[in-house]
Chains A and B, each alone.
Chain A
Amino acid sequence: NAGVMQNPRHLVRRRGQEARLRCSPMKGHSHVYWYRQLPEEGLKFMVYLQKENIIDESGMPKERFSAEFPKEGPSILRIQQVVRGDSAAYFCASSPIGLAGRGTQYFGPGTRLLVL
């Protein structure tokens, strides 16, 4: 059973370009979460999605960042007009049911974004 898959694993962008990060949850999981991790820090929650719905985006910057989880295909975290401060590791997690149902989040390997 494949785990959470993320691609690309490494992404280099110049300031002003767009970054598109993809996440395929574990088979049977319909809940996806995105987190950002700065060097030497813990993960910070960004957004929680179910298929075709954004449930909680309280951790997402209001501008330039968007996320989707379409009916078919992977979840996408999109960062427009990237700036150097966006450089970080972005992790996706999935769970079979929400935390209220005690579903544990399983993490992917992350995408390391470097903005030049």
Chain B
Amino acid sequence: GESVGLHLPTLSVQEGDNSIINCAYSNSASDYFIWYKQESGKGPQFIIDIRSNMDKRQGQRVTVLLNKTVKHLSLQIAATQPGDSAVYFCAGAESGAGSYQLTFGKGTKLSVIP
């Protein structure tokens, strides 16, 4: 089955620096990935997604990179701000398998130092 995990449980960065959050997945059939941000006491908030036919996708201040060869994806946040402090989850899915469940990693807690 799918297994998605993150390399580091916590990450502290200085305000204004760039943040990089990593995620590894085990199921080579996964073809759709999403990054979510979860603030304390709230539900996950969609940040950005990427399909397996792409290796990079950019949003506002965020970039997701996908390396299918090593089954790894990363979330880059430019000019990190205090409001970026949260737990970040990557989630993967096999969209063609008839099942639509997202498999989440445990999360990386990002702390921004003012």
A26 to B106, CA, bound (A): 26
Q: Does B15 contact A (CB under 8 A)?
A: no
On whether the beta carbons of B106 and A41 are closer than 8 Å, the reply is yes
Q: Using an 8 Å CB-CB cutoff, how does the interface string of A101-113 with B read, 1 for contact, 0 for none?
A: 0101111111000
Which one of B49, B99, B100, B104 has the greatest number of beta carbons of chain A within 10 Å?
B100
Which residues in chain B, 14-52, are within 8 Å of chain A measured between CB atoms?
32, 34, 36, 41-46, 49, 51
Whether B43 contacts A108 by the Cβ 8 Å rule is: yes
Interface string of B82-106 (1 = CB under 8 A from A): 0000000101010110111111111
Known: A99-B95, A100-B95, A104-B34. A45 touches B102 (CB 8 A): yes
List, in ascending order, chain A residues with CB within 8 A of B106's CB: 40-42
> Is A61 engaged at the interface, CB distance under 8 Å to the other chain?
no
Contacts of A4 in B (CB 8 A): 43
Contact between A43 and B89, CB atoms less than 8 A apart: yes
CA distance A4 to B46 in the complex (A): 13
The interface of chain A, by Cβ under 8 A from chain B, is: 4, 6, 31, 33, 35, 40-45, 48, 55-56, 58-59, 91, 98-100, 102, 104-110
